[in-house]
Amino acid sequence: MKKAKIGIFGASRGTDIGKNLMLLDGCEVVALCDFNKERAQEGLQKLGIDIPVFESFDEFIEQGLDAVVIANYFHEHTPFAIKCFEKNIHVLCECISNGTMAEGVELLRAYEKSDSIFMLAENYPQMKFNREMKKICDVGTLGKVLYAEGEYNHPASPTGTDFIKDYVYFPEHWRNHLPRTYYITHSLAPLMWITGATPKRVSAMPVFEPMAEAATVRLVGDSAAVVTILNDDESVFRVTGCAAFGAHHNAYRICGKNGQVNNIPGLGQSVMLRYNEWSVPEGMEEINHYDPGWNDEDEELIEGSDHGGGDYLVARMFLDCIKDNKQPEHPYDIYSAVTMASVAILAHRSILNNNQPYDIPDFHNEECRKEYENDRLTPFYGTDGSKPDIPCCSKPDYKPTDEQIKGYFDILKN
């Protein structure tokens, strides 16, 4: 089999993924695209290979590519994925898949006309403790899953300047306008992967407490969103998007009729597996606390990868899909990706509308698509100059102080 030729769109996060793809037999990174020349050169240095660099995406995808890693701005993946679909180019897409409900419709319609493989580049399900929790659920000793929790908690230093220079380097940057529900796949995707459930209804409540940043133009004063989801199997999830309360952690808990399993934040990759005393499986203890193994022939490469090994495993999964000419499984497939984006978008609307619940559309159904095909409400600025048309914060009038704003621009000047 010839090597798959892969292009990287988005020189920051995209080259992180590209470096893991370069570790695999069966593919080669052959082109890089970024609108920012300086970042493109930095990305080229990270890759450590001599490949052509493009500012124009249209020129970039004319390079005989078999697949593209789409890792541009968080909310602007859809138009570029569609251009790939039109040329039957495979797509590994950073999360989220679509920034508006209408884009979700457009993405699926274009995909269904193509021969492309689409995979969401969501790495948190592949962390060691989440892989172990899936194995436990698949064995079935927990019984029917009734409830699960997922938290992605990422507070930032109030005095850090590198984050501003590296990640929010102009006022209209998407991170300055990111509702707390939107960055949801790190908390939601692991639960969907472990349990197999699909969200069907969502509501959310905000936790309003502005981050104590010395310098910022962030218009989101919420520190978290608590999102409640009813699933197709009648289980319930409670998840956050990107939260900023307590200590930094990723926390997941799966509760069945017979017991529960969770990771223990702050204690590495360990898990706690507990059963009710009347439902302990044969050969098990009531309380089991242990560090699982990878049980994988690529353990050394996994351990050397970022995001708890998830970056390498996602790259390998994508290449396996290309080799086998198959779509990825739930929740990495395009329908799951658009479902998660819908949860993110409609959970924020729930917050803006007095915690009103919203049904998650089944976008396999064309009638559901028609309901949302013109729904372009967004809290973000676009690179084309378009402005937000809904608030990004639960309190729309919130804004940082004049002193914080001045501090932000002072950092950018230095």
Contact 95, 73 (CB under 8 A): no
Q: Could you count the other beta carbons within 10 Å of the beta carbon of residue 355?
A: 15
Alpha-carbon span 125 to 191, nearest angstrom = 8
Residues 6+ apart with CB under 8 A from 361: 101, 342, 368, 369, 371, 372
Predicted pLDDT at 95: 86
Alpha-carbon span 242 to 185, nearest angstrom = 9
Q: Mean pLDDT over residues 8-31, rounded?
A: 96
CATH, range 4-123+315-324: 3.40.50.720
Q: How much of the chain is in helix, strand and coil states, percent to nearest 5? A: 35, 20, 45
Q: What long-range pairs does 77-81 form, CB within 8 A, spacing at least 24?
A: 78/103, 78/104, 78/106, 78/107, 79/103, 80/9, 81/107, 81/110, 81/111, 81/118
225-247 pLDDT, tens digit per residue, is 999 999 999 999 999 999 999 89
157-178 pLDDT, tens digit per residue, is 888 899 899 889 999 999 999 9
- Token pair for residue 330? 């739930």
94-144 pLDDT, tens digit per residue, is 989 999 999 999 999 999 999 999 999 999 999 999 999 999 999 999 999
**pLDDT of residue 1 exceeding 80:** no
**pLDDT of residue 398 exceeding 70:** yes
**Dmax (CA) of the chain:** 65
Domain chopping of the chain, boundaries: 4-123+315-324
Alpha-carbon span 15 to 47, nearest angstrom = 6
Predicted pLDDT at 54: 97
Report which of 341, 376, 377 is spatially closest to residue 360, judged by C-alpha positions: 341
52-111 pLDDT, tens digit per residue, is 999 999 999 999 999 999 999 999 999 999 999 999 999 999 989 999 999 999 999 999
